[in-house]
Amino acid sequence: MANYKDIIDNCKSTKGGIIEAFHALQEEFNYIPQEALTEAARVFGLSEAQAYGVATFYSYLSVEQRGKYIIRMCESAPCHVAGADEVIKAMEDYLGIKVGETTADGKFTLELCECIGQCQATPVISVNSKPIFNVTAQQIPEILGQYK
């Protein structure tokens, strides 16, 4: 695993680049670990409280530990009318967790999100930012079964 200090150092020259650094950290760890947040605040000249304020403002960023695969279900109106609720239910049943939780083996975190801009194929979920189209409740075991 890459060192969080190196990851932050790589973004140091980007003006106002703390959000870029957070993205790079999440790419590696799937969330922003506490010590990395402290380091990012130092590098970008912010107080820790300010850095925390930035990290918690954005729904894509997380300061809580998350699973290896982050599943996000779009709940916006077009996906809602296309049956998002049934897909959420199917995922909760299949994973044995509720929205916002992570499976005990640390594999999956289930989150809700708003439109991810793939509305030609509603309802849409994404797994680690990769969109999956026209999802039905029946397909959930098959789709999620592919993630090892």
Partner 1 sequence: MNMAEEMRVLLEYADKINPESAEDYIKVGGYEGLKKARSMERKDLIDEVKRSGLRGRGGAGFNAGMKWSFVPQDVPVKYVVCNLDEGEPGTYKDRMICQKNAQALLEGMAICGHAIDSNQGYIYCRGEYPFVVELLKNAIASAKSSGVLEDFDIEVRMGAGAYVCGEETALIESIEGHRGEPRFKPPFPGVEGLWGAPTVVNNVETLACLPYILVNGADWFAGIGAEKYPGTKILTLTGDINNPTYFEVPTNYTLRDVIYKLGGGIKNGKKFKAVQVGGTSGAFIPEQNLDTPIDFDSMSAIGAALGSGAVLVLDETRDIVDVVTRISKFFEHESCGKCNPCREGTFRCREMMEKINSGKGSENDMDNILLLSRVMQKAALCGLGQAAPIPIESTIKHFRHEYMRKVL
> Which member of 28, 86, 126, 132 binds partner 1 (CB under 8 A)?
126
Question: DSSP assignment, residue 102?
Answer: B
> Of the candidates 97, 99, 116, 132, which one interacts with ligand FES according to CB under 6 A?
116
In the bound state with ligand FES, the residue whose beta carbon lies nearer, of 11 and 124, is 124
Other CB atoms within 10 A of residue 91 CB: 22
Q: Pick one of partner 1, ligand FES, none as the site partner of residue 109 (Cβ within 5 to 8 A by kind).
A: none
Sole binder of ligand FES in the list 79, 87, 91, 143 (CB under 6 A)? 79
In the complex, minimum distance from the CB of residue 79 to partner 1, in angstroms, rounded to a whole number? 8
CB atoms within 10 A of CB 112: 14
**Does residue 123 have a cis bond before it (omega within 30 degrees)?**
yes
3-state secondary structure of 85: helix
Could you say whether residue 132 binds ligand FES (CB under 6 A)?
no
CB 38, CB 71: distance < 8 Å: no
Nearer to partner 1, 22 or 108 (CB): 22
